[in-house]
Amino acid sequence: MGNRSLKFYIVAGEASGDLHGAHLIKEIKNMHPESDFRCWGGDKMKHEGGVLVKHISELAFMGFVEVLFNLRTIFKNLRLCKQDILAYRPDALVLIDYPGFNLRIATWAKAQGIKIHYYISPQIWAWKQSRVYKIKASIDHMYVILPFEKAFYAKFDYDVEYVGNPLMDVIADHFSKTRTRGVFMIENQLNAEKKIIALLPGSRKQEIRVKLPIMLKAMESFPEYQLVVAGAPSIEQRFYAAFLNQNTRIVYGQTYDLLHFSDAALVTSGTATLETAIIGCPQVVCYKGSFVSYVIARLLIKVNYISLVNLIMNREVVKELIQQDCSVEKIKGELAKILVEGPERIKLLEDYRDLKNLLGLGGASKKVAFAVLKTIE
């Protein structure tokens, strides 16, 4: 390999992929400065020196109906991506999560004889397990970030590399720049005398509309706390205003600090449950979807839990209140148990420490960078 210039083509379709892609670019450059990057990503990858072909703001289509309405755009993007990869002829193609798009690119790229690295496995263990055969046939190297995924793939005789969870680095990196509680409270016009309960009702309007009113109603039983909502970047303050009361504030772009300075949190399922646990904030997981979506999900999904915390630990660490259990009374009851310094809270924080040990000490991006470079002769 020597000092020759190497070319990498990276495809991510969501904000989290942009974040992890940016860390990967940084690590590859540290190991091999003569590297060139062409990307489908966002501002973070661009900041690290990646040349953007398409921005993620044009790529993230959520939900069955939205995908249907945007099929023409999706197929046009697939064609553009293929043409651009062929013209660029990378030494390695790195696909980050975003399975609907990236697995199609992988199948095509394999036929072109391009080396394919997949970072952050699609969650095929939860549903669409049949995709494992497509992955085995088309992907040269798979890097997984959840400890149980290695055993899952082994059942299909496919050897993958567990690199640890990149959130460990992202969160450690964030807290390396210290910010005091006092500064956080003043900047966000919060009452320094009152403790905080954080509300993370999700990132899409439909889920916020369903969950935030239930969360706020349950909070009426805890008047001694101030409530702070973690605002989703894509949703304007005006939308939240319809739900909020005088005891509730909203902050944007400060979720990690909010969780760090809160006594407990109500969290919608997803990556946020894992971030909350790594930061060490006791939480209750709240999930409620439309009845039809819930029934379909129950039929398709093959896992026992909906939060990543419980999935990774393979037992109930955080309380999950799903569908009809996501009620005002149940939220009040579960929250009361973890707000006070009693056995439930102590046990939960001990379990969080075990979870972090299981996730490893960090360095996921560095491991992937090293593994990718190692395969280029």
Tokens in use for 113?
A: 């004889």
Task: Say yes or no to pLDDT of 65 above 60.
Answer: no
For the cut 90, the answer to whether the pLDDT of residue 89 exceeds it is yes
Question: What are the residue ranges of CATH 3.40.50.2000 in the chain?
Answer: 6-164+362-374, 172-359
Whether residue 66 has pLDDT greater than 60: no
Q: In sequence order, which residues have a C-beta less than 8 Å from that of residue 259 and are 6 or more positions away?
A: 198, 265, 275, 276, 279, 281
Neighbours of 298 (CB within 10 A): 10
Least confident piece of the model among 68-72, 79-83, 323-327: 68-72
Interatomic CA distance for residues 368 and 162, integer angstroms: 10
Cα first-last separation, the chain:
5
Closest to 93 in 3D by CA, of 113, 64, 66, 122: 113
Residue 56 has pLDDT above 90, yes or no: no
- Fold assignment, 172-359: Rossmann fold (3.40.50)
Considering the four listed CATH numbers 3.40.50.180, 3.90.1150.10, 3.40.50.2000, 3.40.50.261, the one that applies to the domain covering 6-164+362-374 is 3.40.50.2000
**pLDDT at residue 299 is higher than 90:** no
Cα angle 21-26-27, degrees, rounded to a multiple of 5: 95
Cα–Cα distances in angstroms (integers) from residue 221 to residues 195, 299, 319, 334, in the given order: 14, 36, 19, 12
Residues 46-59, mean pLDDT to the nearest whole number = 88
Q: What is the mean pLDDT of residues 58-66?
A: 58
Query: How far, CA to CA in Å, does 104 sit from each of 64, 117, 327?
Result: 18, 14, 41
Query: Which helix (DSSP H) or strand (DSSP E) does residue 265 occupy?
Result: strand 264-267
Residue-level pLDDT at 142: 97
> What per-residue confidence (pLDDT) applies to 126?
75
Is a pLDDT exceeding 60 seen at residue 1? no
Residue 144, pLDDT > 60, answer yes
User: Which residue carries 């501002």 as its tokens?
Assistant: 43
Residue-wise burial string across 168-206, b where 16 or more C-beta atoms lie within 10 A, e elsewhere: bbbbeeeeeeeeeeeebbeebebeeeeebbbbbbbbeee
Quick one: average pLDDT of 131-148? 93
Alpha-carbon gap, residue 261 to 251, rounded angstroms: 13
Please list the alpha-helical segments (H only) found in the chain. Answer: 15-31, 43-47, 64-69, 71-88, 99-111, 131-138, 147-154, 166-175, 181-187, 205-219, 237-241, 255-260, 271-279, 291-300, 308-313, 328-339, 343-359, 364-374
The secondary structure of residue 223, as a DSSP letter, is: T
* pLDDT average, residue stretch 289-303: 60
CA dist 171 → 155, 181, 247, 257, 260 (Å): 32, 17, 29, 10, 11
The model's pLDDT over 236-283, given as tens digits with 9 standing for 90+, comes to 899 999 898 878 999 999 999 999 999 999 999 778 999 999 999 999
Mean pLDDT of the chain: 90
pTM as predicted: 0.87
